[in-house]
Amino acid sequence: SEKEYTEFKGEQYFKDDYTNVTPTILGKIGENLHNVPSHPLCLLKERIHACLEGFTHYDSFSPVVKVRDNFDRLLIEPDHPGRSKSDSFFFNRQHMLRTHTTTHELDVYEHRNIDKFTITADVYRRDEIDSSHYPVFHQMECVHLLDRSEIAKNAAHATHHPSKTPAGLVVSDPTSELSKLSESNPIQSEHSIEEVEIVAYQLKATLNHILYQLFAESAGSGDSTLEIRWIEAFFPFTSPSWEVEIFYQGAWLEVLGCGILKQKILDQAGRSNSMGWACGLGLERLAMVLHKIPDIRLFWSKDARFLDQFQASDKTLAIFRPFSKFPPCTRDIAFWCSSLEFEANDLFDLVRDIAGDFVESVSLIDSFVHPKSGRKSMCYRIVYRSMDRYVFPTKRHRSFILPRYSFNIISK
Ligand code: PHE
C-alpha cells in the first residue's frame, strides 16, 4: 500500500493535498552536476567564479526548502503562479524543492557575515518539454551587499559610464538611464536615486564583465558576435529589476534575472545597514550558447562522447560536436480530458516518467470541445530521440549493417 509520507535523506515528509514529487524527480537529486569535475556546468561555474574577485562561493545547500523560505520571505505574492502545484514540486504544504537559488540568500544573510557571495545549485520547476526546458536545471546566484553609509559618501560621484564593450560583444541597454524607468520598475522608497545609480551601475558592469569574459573564451570558435540585451523585468524580491537575454538559434533566450534587493528583505534578515544587488544566472542556457549545445538533456548524459568534449584544461571553449546518429521519431497522441481543467504540466510529467530522456519535445497541435457533450479533446505531438544511446546490433540485426551505413534499429 502507498506510504503516507515521502522519505528523503532520512526525513519523512507527510503527504497532503499538495504532494506532487515523483520518483523520477527525486532520482535527480544528488547528481550535483555543478560539482562534477570537468562537467560543462561545473566548468562554467568555475569560469564565473574566476570573474568575481573577493566573493565567497557556496554550492552545497540542500534542495529541500521551506515553502516559506522559497516564497513568503522573498515577498512573493500569495497568488504567484510558482506557488501552484502545477508549476513547482512539493513534498507537502510546508516543504518543497527549491525553484530558485534566491531562497538561500536568506541562509547567508542570517548565518554568515559575508557581503559578496555566489550560490550554485540545482533548482526544480514543472514546465514544458522542449530543447531548453528540463524539470531540473542549475542556477548561480550572485549577491553583492554594500555598506549604506559608504554608498552615501560616493553618491555625489555617481556617473553613468557607458560600459566598455569589447569588439564582438553587442550590448544593447535601453534601460541604462534610470530616468527612463517605468512606473512598473521603480526605485524603492527607502533608496535615493543616487544610491540606486551606484549600485545598479555596479550590477550591470559586473554582469557585462562576466558575459564578456565568458564570451572572450569562446571567441576562438570563429563566431564573431554575441548579442545581448538588457530589458526591464519584475521580481518580487528586487526593484528595479532587469533581465539579460542572448540572441541564440534565432530567438532571444533569457539567461539571467537581476535587480536591486528589496530593502525589506535585508531589514528582516538583520542586514538593514546594507543595500545591494543580486542576480540569478541560468547555467544550462549559458552553457548551451557558449558551447553550442543544442539540447538541455545532454547535460544529464553519462556518455563519454559528451563528457569527454569538455576539459578543465581547455584554453578556449569547446564547441559541441554532435554524435547521436538517431533520427527523431514522432508520435501523436489524442485523448479526451475528464474535466475542462486539464493541466498540461501533469501530462509533461507523465511523459517524462515513462519516456525519460528519450523525449525531446511535446507540443499541443490541436484541441477540440465537442459542441454537444462539452467534452474536451487534445492532441499532442511527442518527439522521441536519444541524444546519446548507441545500440549495438543484435545478432538478428547484424545482417542489416552495411560497411558504410548503420541502421538504428531498436528491437522492442
Ligand atoms: N530568482 C530569479 C529567477 O529564478 C532570478 C533572480 C535572482 C532575479 C536574483 C533577481 C535577483 O528567475
According to the model, what pLDDT value does residue 257 have? 98
According to the model, what pLDDT value does residue 2 have? 75
| 279 in contact with ligand 1, CB cutoff 6 A | yes
CA-closest residue to ligand 1 atom 10: 258
Best probe residue, ligand 1, of 100, 230, 241 (max atoms within 8 Å of C-beta): 100
Whether residue 238 is predicted with pLDDT greater than 70 in this model: the reply is yes
Mean pLDDT value across residues 88-108: 97
What is the DSSP secondary-structure string of 32-97? Answer: -GGGSTT-HHHHHHHHHHHH-TT-EEE----SEEEHHHHTGGGT--TT-GGGSTTTS-BSSSSEEE
- Whole-angstrom Cα distance, residue 251 to residue 325? 26
Q: Residue 280 in contact with residue 140, Cβ under 8 Å?
A: yes
- Whole-angstrom Cα distance, residue 243 to residue 125? 19
What is the DSSP secondary-structure string of 119-165? Answer: EEEEEE-----BTTB-SEEEEEEEEEEEEHHHHHHHGGG---PPPP-
Whether residue 25 is predicted with pLDDT greater than 90 in this model: the reply is yes
According to the model, what pLDDT value does residue 399 have? 34
Say how many residues make up the chain. 412
Q: Is the peptide bond before 166 cis (omega within 30 degrees of 0)?
A: no
pLDDT digits (tens, 9 = 90+) for 377-411: 999 999 998 887 654 444 443 333 333 333 333 33
pLDDT digits (tens, 9 = 90+) for 177-207: 766 677 889 999 999 998 999 999 999 999 9
- Nearest-atom number in ligand 1 for the CA of 261 is 11
- Nearest-atom number in ligand 1 for the CA of 101 is 1
* Per-residue confidence band for 5, with pLDDT thresholds at 50, 70 and 90: very high
According to the model, what pLDDT value does residue 223 have? 54
According to the model, what pLDDT value does residue 396 have? 42
CA 166 – ligand 1 centroid, Å: 26
CA 182 – ligand 1 centroid, Å: 20
Contacts of 286 (CB under 8 A, 6+ apart): 44, 214, 246, 255
Q: What are the E-state strand segments in 167-292? A: 169-172, 226-235, 238-248, 251-261, 274-282
